[in-house]
Structure formats: structure tokens, C-alpha cells
Structure 1
Amino acid sequence: MPRNHLKSLLSACALAVLISGCGGGNTPSATSSAGPSAKGFPVTIDNCGVKTTYRRPPQRAVSLNQHATEALLSLGVEKSMVGTGYLDDKILPEYQAAYDSVKVISKEYPSFEVLLEAEPDFVYGGWSSTFDEKEGRSRAAFAKAGIDTHLNTEECPTGPVTVASMDEEIRTLAKIFGVPERGEERLGKLHATLDKVETQLAGVTPVKLFVYDSGDKTAFTAGGKGIGNEMIRRAGGANLFGDLDKAFGDVSFEQVAERAPEAIVIYDYGDRSVEDKKKFLLAHPALKDVPAIKNQRFAVLPLSSTVLGVRMPSAVESLAKQLHPDRVR
């Protein structure tokens, strides 16, 4: 524990576990404690090296990060959520009403104590920083408090992250919450969008793309191991740094110039606006002869749409419209 005291609103379960001093690996979780299993349970999930057995669906879930929150809302489990936090963008309109019914416990990441005050039995994080050990929010700390955790699997890939990874993430969450039919229904809608774009782009010549996320001295770009690489391919593009053996990485602007992108995709988030990023790229001396710069050919995607979650298919469609407006309208 990062501090010697906890606020008085700790759940009885968490407090009892902390007092007993049980180890994280042997601590029964909130949803796997003794008692009869719910229908369709127990369910055992091996997630990013943490194995959890659920005897019933979570009843007091907390989601952190945009894509984690929207994934749960897409499954209609908002009545089983007691908190959420850390958005990058506005919630998708179709989930707004459900989102408004869930308490926002923090603008960004809450402290471990604030999380405990919500008395959760399950915490779902979109980024690995959700479970930051230095901040006292490690998965082991939650386990010690009797709270189950789940991390978006783009943060611990065993290979390239693809549409199959999206399917697995949604199906796993649906299984944890005991709503597998809702998971299949959601996936049907997501795949319908992808199938439509694939049909519209049949036979198209891919546009050579460079993704600009951020960076002044070097460029932070999308590599080949994240869902962004798959999105670019499905949108009729070719990621010029798909050979990077990770989801994101730094490259020099001279490398960008050597690979001569035909278009630049800007990831939109944070305090730096898209227009500021465009001005920076247009004025960079190393890029002056790059086709994308000469033609001022840019596309834009919000960062929240470029990670593993339910926004991915609509982001593919959006990017396809920007790259191939004659094909996708």
C-alpha cells in the first residue's frame, strides 16, 4: 500500500482482506469467492498473465480509459458499473445516456484510495498505465483487496493486433459479465461496417501512409504490432513503418522523408491541436520534398479510435473516406 491509512469507505471485503494480510496470489477475488456460481459460471480468464476465475458477473465495475468504458457500455452493462474515469474524447452518442448513468470518479486516473472508495469488485483498464505499480494501483494490489482486474489485450499482445483481437476482447468481456449474446450482437454490427468498407475498396491501390502521433525531435508513429496497423490496411493504406516490431515507436524525420509517404495520418488528442501538428510538419526542413507535404495530403483520426475497442470499425471507415473519397462516401 502506498500510504499507511485508508479512508473509511473501504468495502468490507477489501478491508477484511487487507487486515488479514493475505497474499495477492492466494486471495479470493470479489467475484470468485465461495458460494454458488451464477448460470454460465464459473468462468476462468487468463489475461495478460493474470488468471481469474469468476463465479458470477461483476456487480460493481469501474472502467478507466475511453476504449475500456465504451466497450463495457456497448455490452449494456452500465447498471453493473459504479464508476468510470479518464476520457480522451466525447463519449460516442449511442452510449451517452448509458454513460450519464455511471458516476465519474476522476477526470484522469484516480488514486488507489479513491478507487477503493467506490467499492468495486472489478476494474477494467484500457492502458497498462491503469495498473501503475508506482502509483499503488498494481493488479496485485487490487487482488490483495479482493478486486478483480482486466487489462485491454492490446497492452500485452502475443502477435500483431488484428480484428480477431477485437473479437476476442469483446467476447471475453461479454463472458465475464454473463452476456455472451450481447457480445455477438455487437460484433455483428462492427463486422458489418468492416465488410462494407472492404467491398467498397476492392482492388484499390493502397496509399503509402505515415502516422504522426507526436514528437518534435523524433516522430512517434504507429508500428506494426498495434491495431492501428490493421486499421490502415483495411482503410486502403500501407503503413510505412509497419516493420516496427511494436505498436508505437520513434523514428527520425529523415527516415520519414526516405520512405516518402503519400499521405500523413495525424492522431488527434491532448493539448496540441491538429492544426499545430500540420504547421509543424509543413515547416519541417527534412520533409519539404515528401509527396504528402508537397500535396498537403492529411487525414485525421482521434486517438480514442485508434486503439483496440468498439470504435475501430468506424475509424476504418472514416480513414477510408479520407484516403479514397471516390470509393467510400
Structure 2
Amino acid sequence: MNKKLIVACMFFSTLLLLAACSNKATGNETEKDAAKSGQTEQDEKIIIDNNDFVIEYDKAPSRAISLNQHVTEIMLALGLEDSMVGTAYLDDKIYKPLQETYEKVPVLAEQYPSKEQVIEAEADFLYAGWSSAFTEKSIAAREELKELGIDSYLQMSSTKVAPTLEDIYTDIRNIAKIFRIEDRGEELVSQMNQDIEEITAKLPEVKEPLEVLVFDSGDTEVFTATQNFMNTLVTMAGGRNVFGDVEGNWATVSKEDAVERQPEVIVVIDYGSTTVEQKINFLKSDPALSETPAVQNEKFVTLPLSAASEGIRAAEAVEILAKGFYPDAY
């Protein structure tokens, strides 16, 4: 081989080596960028302790079913409709900005689907808002679902006493992590925070917050919110839940006790077959409850149950309450 050919070969070998090094460096940078973005690799195992039930998610689910309205709305807000094969159990109308997307996903049942329906849909993931979904009477226990090859997640903020916004954000982040879309989860949390801050910034400065009774239902007694998320929402909107000192999330109290606490506003929860108008008419006609300042001054605020649940509509719920409590500020 002549001298010129040897030199040429050495030159091209050097170029190939440099190119290989460059590609490796670029690959490393790409990996670093992916890590910085907060995205989990599709094949990375995710382990989550979900209400003392540890689940290992080997890959992002592709055939998910949401089992309650507030978790359906979380999935849709995260843009996961293409990974869903069904929804179930609406409390009322779906959140309007998500209506069009919601219509793209099949509704499997008016309430909970049967285990057979879940299997027939070839579901690989069930997302429940309430623990009632994962029982033998509804679908199946989570242990049985796991044996069937179906992973699950139960909204933790909906199963604890005195849940906070941060508890909801933890659920949103967990779902985003399971589906390997952490960036979308952070964007949703950030938008919710921003919306809530804009609403609460308009609240007037008051010496004492308004005394608020949450009326869910009841005729001989009152079924009311105590330390559940509605209590959090009432506080954020500048009110004070008159039964916020009672332990637990819900309580049945006597009418006399409700009257004694002198609520200035009554938040009427809208859901089910009994209309808001029927509930308000009952409050006005009841000999005891009609004596409260709220009823006498006709200070009623209607809050949809779907907005009051531990989902993406916290800002909407706070806005409804704040406008009802302090209309002059809005």
C-alpha cells in the first residue's frame, strides 16, 4: 500500500471515530434531557404504595377504565382518552371543557360495570374514585383484579379524612407517573394552582368568615360534611364549616344542633334524584331549619357534587362558593 493511501485511510478512520464519539455524546445529552424533563421511560417499572396496596406497574396502561366521575375528569384532563376503553358512574354532567373528549370514550355502565364487563373490555387498569368500586359487591377486590392481570389505583385523597389540595395533586402526579406523562401532570397541577390563586385573590378581608352549613340531604336529621374536601373548599372560599370540628368526613346531626350553630349560608349539594329546588323548599318549610339566618335571608349556594369531589374542579368549586359567599367582590 502506498504512502498516500495509508494517510487517506488514517484520515477517514479518524473521521469515523470522531463521528462515533459525537453520536455517543449526543445520545448522552438526549438521555440527560429526557431525565431533566421528568418523564419516566416507558419500560421503567413504577412502584406505588396506594392505600397500603403496593402495585408494580411494568408499563403504561393502554386499556384503562375510570370508575367515578372525578377520576374520569382527571384522566381526560391529562389527555389520556386514547388509553381508555371505558368510563362509568357519573354524578352529574361531565365538566364542560372535557365534554367533547369524554364523548370519545365508551360509557360501560350507569354505575359500576360488572367484573365480566371489565374482562370483556380487556382492561389492563382500573382507576376508582371511591373504595366502593373495589368490592365483591361492585366489581372485585383489588387482589382478584391483580390475579386477572388488571392493575388498579384508588384515589387516595378521596379515602382520607381532611384531604388537602396537595393530596389531590399527589393523586394526579401518581396517575401521570403510571402513564409516563409526568410533564402533563405538573402542567395540570400548575394550572389548578394558578386558577385558585386568581379566584381567592379577590376575596374581601373580613374579621370573621361566614358560618356555613353544608346540606347534603335529610328530612328528620341533617346529613352534612364535616372534615371532608368540602370543608377545605369552604375554608378556601372564606367560610367556616359549622360542623368542621366533628371528626370524620361526614356526619348525621340533629336539626336542633344545626339551628344552634346559626349558619349564615347553606351550601346545597346538587346530585341524585332529589333536585336542589326540592332541597331548598324543604329547608324553607321545615319548622326548625327555617329559623336559621341562612334560610331567613335566603342565602343558598348550589354546589355540584362532581365539583366538590377530589378532582380537577377545585378552582370551579372555590369560585362557586366565593361568589355565593361574597357576591359583591365578584
Q: What TM-score, normalized by structure 1, do the two folds share?
A: 0.85
Deviation of the 1:297 alpha carbon: 0.8
Quick one: percent identity of the two aligned structures? 42
**Alignment partner, residue 121 of structure 1:** 124
1:232 correspondence with 2:234: yes
**Alignment partner, residue 276 of structure 1:** 278
**Alignment partner, residue 243 of structure 1:** 245
User: How do 1:93-172 and structure 2 match up within 5 A?
Assistant: 93-157=96-160, 159-172=161-174
**1:190 counterpart letter in structure 2:** M
Task: Give unpaired runs (5+ residues) of structure 1.
Answer: 1-36
SS at match of 2:54: strand
Once residues 65 and 136 of structure 1 are traced to their aligned partners in structure 2, the CA distance between those partners, rounded to angstroms, is: 13
* CA distance 1:244–1:40, shift in 2 (3 Å): farther
Once residues 286 and 92 of structure 1 are traced to their aligned partners in structure 2, the CA distance between those partners, rounded to angstroms, is: 36
* Contact residue 38 and residue 55 of structure 1 kept, 8 A: no
Bigger CA radius of gyration: 2
**1:212 counterpart letter in structure 2:** F
* Contact residue 193 and residue 317 of structure 1 kept, 8 A: no
Deviations 1:82-131 (A, max 9, x none): 11111112222221222111111111111111111111110001111111
1:295 correspondence with 2:297: yes
* Contact residue 209 and residue 264 of structure 1 kept, 8 A: yes
* CA distance 1:228–1:180, shift in 2 (3 Å): same
Deviations 1:219-265 (A, max 9, x none): 110111x1111100011110001012111111111110010000100
Task: Give unpaired runs (5+ residues) of structure 2.
Answer: 1-39
Deviations 1:175-196 (A, max 9, x none): 1111110011111111111111
**Alignment partner, residue 181 of structure 1:** 183
Deviation of the 1:284 alpha carbon: 1.1
**2:283 counterpart letter in structure 1:** L
**Alignment partner, residue 198 of structure 1:** 200
Once residues 139 and 242 of structure 2 are traced to their aligned partners in structure 1, the CA distance between those partners, rounded to angstroms, is: 38
**Alignment partner, residue 22 of structure 2:** none
1:306 correspondence with 2:311: no
**Alignment partner, residue 326 of structure 1:** 328
Mean Cα deviation higher: 301-310 or 202-211: 202-211
**Alignment partner, residue 10 of structure 1:** none
1:71 correspondence with 2:74: yes
**Alignment partner, residue 214 of structure 2:** 211
Length, aligned pairs only: 290
SS at match of 1:134: coil
